[in-house]
Structure 1
Amino acid sequence: MTTNPTPPTTPEPPAPNAVTHPAAVLTGPGTFAFVQRPTLPLQPGEVRVQVGTVGVCGSDIHMFTDGRIGTTVVSSPLVLGHEFMGVVSEAAPGTVDGDGQPLRAGDRVAVEPHVACGHCRECREGHPNLCTDHTFMGVYPRDGALQRELNVPAHNAFRLPDAISDAGGAMLEPLGVALHAVRLGHVRVGDRAAVVGAGPVGLLIVRLLALAGVTDLHVTEPLAWRRELAADLGATSTDAAFTAAHDSRYDVVYEAAWADASVQDAALLARPGARVVLVGIPGDDRMEVQHSLARRKGLSLIFSRRMAHTYPQAIRLVTSGQVDVDRLVSDVFPLSGVARAFERHAAYGPGVVKVMVDLTVQDDPDAPTQVQEVTA
C-alpha cells in the first residue's frame, strides 16, 4: 500500500476448513475490509488473547490516511491497533505475565505492543524501546488488535485489576508513552513546565506533571474542549497557540502534537538551557524548528521513542486513582464501525479526545462477515 490513489488490494481468503475470526484490515488509504483471518497456533511463550477494547492512536491515523508512518510504509494489507486489552483464552501451565504474575485463561490483560528481541545491546542495557530488531503490533509488517483474537508474547501481557475498566486497560499504552516522556524530561519539584498539544498523550503528560509537583504548567492547544480538560487535569494556564506572554519561561517543555510547527512553539516556550522532549510524530517525517533559536538558547532536544518498563507503574497510577484514564475516552464504536471511528478521530470532530473500538459490543445486525470494503 502506498500513498498513491491505487485500487486497494483484497486479503487472501483463509484455507478451506481453517478456524477463523473476523478482522478489520487496512487495504488502502482510508479503506478497511472486513475479513476472516485464520487463527494461528500458539508459539512457545505466547498466549492467545480475545481482544476487548482497542484505542485509535495518532500513529494509526498516519497509516490510515498516508499509508505510512515515518519511513515505515504499509505495503500490504495490515490489521491496525496497538493500544488494547483483552481476555486470555489460552495459556500454557506455568505461564507468567510481564510482571512475573501467573497468567491463566480468563485473566483480563493489557498488552504492550512493542516486541523487542531481548538480546541486542539496547535491550541488554535496559532500553527495549530502542531495540533494532523489534516488531510492533499494528505497525507493518506485524498485525495488530482490530481483530477478535491475537497471539501475543506472555511477557507483553499484564494482568488487569478489577478496578481498571476495559477502556482503561487500552489506555495504559498511551499512559506508558506519557510516563516514559515525563521520565526523559527529568522533571523536578518546583519546575515550570509546558505542554504543546493536548491530545490523549499530551493530556496524560499534563496530569503526570501535575503529580510531579511543577509550580507552573502551561498548555497550548487549538481545540477549546481539550484546553478545558487540560485545565481540569492540572494546567495553570492555557492558550490556543504560542503567545509572547509565555516566551522563554519554562524549564522543561513537552511537544505532544504533530511535531511540525509545534516543535518551534516548544522551543519558543523553553527558557535558555531548558529540556525539550519531542513526543509527536510528523506526518511528512520532517520537523520545523529555527536552528538559531534552539542553538542560542542551548536547548537539549530529547526524542521520546515509545516506552520502556512502564506498564506496572501505569497500572498502579490508575488503580490508585491518581490518573483517571477513562475521563479521556470520548467515543466508542463497534468493530463494524471502525471506518467511522477513524474518520471521527482524523477529523477532530467536536468533543473528540480518545476514540475506542470495543470488540465486545454487539455489531450491527447487517455487519459484513466476509470481505467487504468500507471507506471513511
Structure 2
Amino acid sequence: MTHAAAVLTGKERFALTERTLSTPSTGEVVIEIRTVGVCGSDIHMFHDGRIGNISISEPLVLGHEFMGVVTHAPDGARDGDGQPLRPGNRVAVEPHVACGHCRECREGHPNLCTDHTFMGVFPRDGALQQKLIVPAHNCFVLPDGISDIGGAMLEPLGVALHALRLGHVTVGDRAAVVGAGPIGLLLVQLLRLAGVTALHVIEPLAWRRELAATTGATSVAAAFDTTEDSRYDVVFEAGWADDSVQTSALLARPGAKVVLVGIPGDDRCTVQHSLARRKGLSLIFSRRMAHTYPECIALVERGMVDVDKLVSDVFPLDQVQRAFERHARYEEGVVKVMVQL
C-alpha cells in the first residue's frame, strides 16, 4: 500500500510523490505521522543540498522533529522509557538511531555515535510522509496533556536541554543567548527555570526579541553593545554559527563557558583567537541530544515549558514548499513552522 510523501528532489524544490512502506524488522513499529516541525538544519538541506559534510545525492524525505500514532507494534514492544507500545499510542520519536555498541554509545553518549543514522538526513528518509517505520525504543508515549504540536516540539526542546546541561548553569549565574529562533527561545525558558539572575538575548528580528522578552529574558538587543555587554558567566550560541560565534565570545566574561549549538551553512565558524584565548573561554560544542525525552515530556506536561507558544505557522503536507519558503525567508512573524498531516 502506498502513502503520500513530500520529497526534496533538488535545491529548494519539493515534489509530492507516493511511497511504498516496507515490512518492519524485529523491534520496529509503524507510525502514522501527524505533525512535523521544520528545523534550521532542514533549511540548510533545502537551501544547499547538504548539512555539514553530508550531501544529498538523491531525492530525500526531510523531517526529524515529529510525532504520530502507532499503527503496528510487535508483541512485547516497549518505548525508550520502558512503557509498552500498542497500536493507537501517540508517540514522539527521537530521530537519532545509534548503533548501541561503539565506545561512545557504551559510555552513555549515543549522540556522538560514529555508526548512526538520523531520520531526515541522507541517506535515511524522515517524517514528511504519512507513514514511517522506526525502532520501538526511539518512541516515547505521549500523555494526553501534550498536544500533537507539543509532541513534535520535544525534539528541539531536547536539543536545548542537552545544551543547557553542557553549560553547567548554576543558580545565580548571568546568562546570554545569541539567536532567538526556536532553540534559543527554548533555552530562554530553561535558563529561567535554572535560576539565572540575568538573561540577555541578542536577536536581529524584532518579533523574536519580543517573544524572548515575554518568555524569560531580562534584556534584549538587536546586536552586541560594547558599553553594556561582556559580563556573562555562560553564553549559548543558537544562531547560524556565523558572526554569532564571535558575538557569543564578546558577551562572555573572562573564564566563562560558551556553548555552540548552531550549525554554520559553510561548515566553518569563526571566533577571534586572541579574544577567546585572553578571556580563557571554554568553547563547548553541542551535538543533538542525549537522554532527554522523558524529562522534556515532564517539563511540557507540567507546564514548566510552553512549546506551543513558539509555533507561528501550521501548513498541510501539500503546502510543504510554502512552509519551507516562509521559514527560509524569515518572513514577518515566523518563529516555528509546523507541517500537519
Smaller-chain TM-score bracket: over 0.9
The structure that has the greater radius of gyration is 1
Q: 1:336 aligns with which of 296, 301, 318?
A: 318
Q: 1:326 aligns with which of 302, 305, 308?
A: 308
Q: 1:200 aligns with which of 182, 189, 197?
A: 182
Q: Distance in 2 between matches of 1:225 and 1:247?
A: 22
Q: 1:247 maps to which residue?
A: 229
Residue 92 of structure 2 is aligned to residue 110 of structure 1: yes
Deviation at 1:50, TM superposition (A): 0.1
Residue 337 of structure 2 is aligned to residue 355 of structure 1: yes
State the percentage of identical aligned residues. Answer: 77
Deviation at 1:244, TM superposition (A): 1.2
Q: 1:263 aligns with which of 233, 245, 265?
A: 245
Q: Normalization by structure 1: what TM-score? A: 0.90
The CA deviation string for residues 61-97 of structure 1, in whole angstroms up to 9 with x for no partner, is: 0000100000000111000000000000000111100
Deviation at 1:148, TM superposition (A): 0.3
The CA deviation string for residues 210-266 of structure 1, in whole angstroms up to 9 with x for no partner, is: 000000000000011111111111100000011113332000000000001000000
Q: 2:207 aligns with which of 217, 225, 234?
A: 225
Q: Distance in 1 between matches of 2:65 and 2:227?
A: 37
Deviation at 1:350, TM superposition (A): 0.8
Q: After the TM superposition, which parts of structure 1 deviate over 2 Å for at least 4 consecutive aligned residues?
A: none
Structure 2 residue matching 1:183: 3-state secondary structure: helix
Q: Distance in 2 between matches of 1:46 and 1:303?
A: 32
Structure 1 residue ranges without an equivalent (≥5) = 1-18, 360-376
Q: Distance in 2 between matches of 1:33 and 1:221?
A: 33
Q: 1:306 maps to which residue?
A: 288
Q: 1:27 maps to which residue?
A: 9
Deviation at 1:305, TM superposition (A): 0.2
Residue 216 of structure 2 is aligned to residue 234 of structure 1: yes
Bigger CA drift: 180-189 or 239-248?
A: 239-248
Q: 2:105 maps to which residue?
A: 123
Deviation at 1:44, TM superposition (A): 0.6
The CA deviation string for residues 266-289 of structure 1, in whole angstroms up to 9 with x for no partner, is: 000000000000000000111121
Structure 1 residue matching 2:227: 3-state secondary structure: helix
Q: 2:123 maps to which residue?
A: 141
Deviation at 1:33, TM superposition (A): 1.1
Query: 1:277-292 alignment to 2 at 5 Å?
Result: 277-292=259-274
Deviation at 1:20, TM superposition (A): 1.1
Q: 1:52 maps to which residue?
A: 34
Counterpart code for 2:243: A
Counterpart code for 2:95: P
Q: 1:84 aligns with which of 66, 72, 79?
A: 66
Q: Distance in 1 between matches of 2:307 and 2:227?
A: 31
Counterpart code for 2:85: L
What RMSD, in angstroms, separates the aligned Cα atoms of the two structures? 0.5
Q: Normalization by structure 2: what TM-score? A: 0.99
Structure 2 residue ranges without an equivalent (≥5) = none
Count of aligned residue pairs for this structure pair: 341
Answer whether contact 1:246 1:269 (CA < 8 A) is retained. no
Q: Distance in 2 between matches of 1:245 and 1:178?
A: 29
Q: Distance in 2 between matches of 1:239 and 1:246?
A: 11
